[in-house]
């Protein structure tokens, strides 16, 4: 390995420096949003089914932790899009 220090390579400026991923990126983000919603619904149904089976067997509410994780992931997925929109365009300095 060489002992030379790292050099910073300047990024190529495109226009005003705003990054525009294009329509394909929006299509991909829309698809990911739908998949996150479907995964959230499937997770809630799965945990609900497991909770129902556990209560029928006389066990306590041990699945509430899993339910909390699924609901937390649903909130994270639901707020990701609005957070990115609120941040606005990306500027390359």
Tell me whether residue 4 is in a domain. no
pLDDT value of position 45: 92
Tell me whether residue 24 is in a domain. no
Number of domains composing the chain: 1
Confidence at 14, pLDDT banded by 50, 70, 90: very low
Burial 17-41 (b: 16+ CB within 10 A, else e): eeeeeeeeeeeeeeeeeeebeeebe
19 or 9, greater pLDDT: 19
CB 63, CB 47: distance < 8 Å = yes
Domain that holds residue 66: 40-93
Tell me whether residue 17 is in a domain. no
What integer is the mean pLDDT of 14-31? 70
The pLDDT tens digits for 35-93 are 888 998 999 999 889 888 888 887 766 778 888 888 898 888 888 877 877 776 666 65
pLDDT value of position 60: 65
Tell me whether residue 54 is in a domain. yes
Tell me whether residue 13 is in a domain. no
Given a cut of 70, is residue 23 above it in pLDDT? Answer: yes
Tell me whether residue 88 is in a domain. yes
Tell me whether residue 90 is in a domain. yes
Contacts for 64 with CB less than 8 Å, ≥ 6 apart: 51
């Amino acid at each position: 390995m060489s002992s030379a220090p790292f050099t910073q390579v300047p990024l190529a400026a495109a226009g005003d420096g705003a990054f525009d991923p294009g329509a394909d990126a929006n299509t991909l983000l829309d698809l990911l949003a739908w998949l996150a919603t479907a995964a959230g619904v499937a997770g809630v149904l799965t945990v609900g089914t497991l909770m129902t089976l556990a209560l029928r067997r006389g066990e306590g509410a041990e699945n509430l932790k899993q339910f909390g994780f699924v609901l937390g992931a649903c909130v994270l997925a639901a707020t990701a899009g609005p957070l990115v929109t609120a941040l606005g365009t990306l500027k390359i300095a």
